[in-house]
Amino acid sequence: MGLLKKMLVMAAVSTALVANVAHAENKKIALVVKALGIGFFDAANKGAQEAAKELGDVDIIYTGPTDTTAEGQIEVINSLVAQKVDAIAISANDKDALVPALKKAMERGIKVISWDSGVAPEGRMMHLNPSSNPLIGNMCVKMAADNLPEGGDVAILSAAATATNQNTWIEEMKKVLPNYKGINIVATVYGDDKTDKSYTEAQGLMKAYPNLKAIIAPTSVGIVAAAQAVEDAGMTGKINVTGLGLPSEMAGHVKSGASKSFAIWNPIDLGYAATMISYNLVTGKEEAKPGAELSMGRMGKVKLDDKNEGAMADPFVYDAKNVEEFAKIF
């Protein structure tokens, strides 16, 4: 009996947690993220909500698995297909493993796009890159090099070894390296987007490479952990942590000097643009095909290349001058 009662209480709690009670006539657009509880994706949801408000007849379902696994995302996709949502806009944990599940979604009439971290072309209608990969890779190295006029050893602290976007950016970083004299990438380590593991990996880097001058972490979890590790080791000023991070999480570390600058596109804009594109595909107003220009509301238009991919905007650099202002936003 006690069990049954508790179950009912649980059910009541879970029903109360359901944020979106959908209206039948509203378009249901699901924003699926790598994992819930990550500041970057919460900000993207803010943008999606903004777009929904602007459009009027849209309900946003903001969801994702607990861990950044493909299997978890497939479970989420299956339940979205079951709910007969109109569109799925996903940031993928694995560009290949999601393909069968997303293909099935498309077969049942759901519009599927990927954003941030892409899905292989056969598993989505188009992919919205936050920026272009070469520009991001270049920006990461540039931010490290700007503070190292003499050059020096640089290490990369990435997310999971399988993360699609991080791997692409690291490739691009290595491509532009010859343009920055004296900058050596000595190691690439993986913190799996977990704070504790990233922190330990950063400590390991400092121990293994005594001449280390900068850590580039192209992940919002890794960069904070690395900055904290540098501060705790008393290496502030000697090792500069840079890469991609969230202003609200990095403001303290910019203030302390552990990070001189970092970059990110605006996740609010990204969630907003993904929602706008999904909506236009659902209403049939626009079609995702090579060469098409899809409108993204206040973000202008995105032109699709031959793989149905498009870039939203350039990455934006944050430093001591502007980080406080943006920290309030996301």
Partner 1 sequence: MSAPSTRGETRLVPDRLQGRAERLLKSWEALLLAVAIAIFALNVWSSPYFLDPWNLSDATFNFTEKGLIAFALALVIVSGEIDLSVAAILALSSTLMGLAMSHGAGTPEIVAIGLLTGLACGAINGMLVSGLGLPSIVVTIGTMSLFRGIAFIILGDKAFTGYPVDFAWFGQGYVWWVFSFELLLFVVAAILFAVLLHATSFGRMVYAIGNNAVAAQFSGIRVERVKFLLFLLSGLMSGLAAVCLTSRLGSTRPSIATGWELEAVTMAVLGGINILGGSGRIGGVVLAALIMGMVTFGFGLLNVPGIVMSIFVGLLLILVIALPKLIGRLGRAKRKA
Q: Which residues bind partner 1 (CB under 8 A)?
A: 2-4, 6-8, 10-11, 14-15, 17-20, 35-37, 61-67, 69-72, 74-76, 78-84, 94-97, 99-100, 120, 160-162, 167
Nearer to partner 1, 145 or 244 (CB): 244
Shortest Å distance, C-beta 80 to partner 1: 8
Closer residue to partner 1, CB minimum distance, 101 or 313: 101
Q: Which residues does 166 contact at the CB level (< 8 Å), separation at least 6? A: 158, 159, 160, 218, 219
For the CB of residue 222, give the shortest distance to partner 1 in the complex, in Å: 15
**Residue 42 vs 146, nearer CB to partner 1:** 42
What is the CB neighbour count within 10 angstroms for residue 85? 23
Quickly list H helices, the chain: 2-17, 39-55, 70-82, 99-107, 133-146, 164-176, 195-208, 220-232, 247-256, 267-282, 323-327
Beta bridge partner(s), residue 187: 155
Q: What DSSP line would sit under 193-214, residue for residue?
A: T-HHHHHHHHHHHHHH-TTEEE
Minimum Å gap between C-beta 99 and partner 1 is 6
Q: Which is nearer to partner 1, 83 or 179 (CB)?
A: 83
Burial of 196 (0-12, 13-18, 19+ CB in 10 A): exposed
In the complex, minimum distance from the CB of residue 23 to partner 1, in angstroms, rounded to a whole number: 14
Q: Match 């290595």 to its residue by tokens.
A: 174
Minimum CB distance to partner 1, residue 119 (Å): 12
Helix, strand, or coil here: 308?
Answer: coil
Q: For residue 328, with 0-12 CB atoms within 10 Å meaning exposed, 13-18 middle and 19 or more buried, which class applies? A: exposed
Nearer to partner 1, 99 or 148 (CB): 99
Q: Report DSSP state, residue 236.
A: B
DSSP H helical ranges for 38-124: 39-55, 70-82, 99-107
Comparison of 82 and 328: residue with beta carbon closer to partner 1: 82
CB of 128 to partner 1, least distance (A): 22
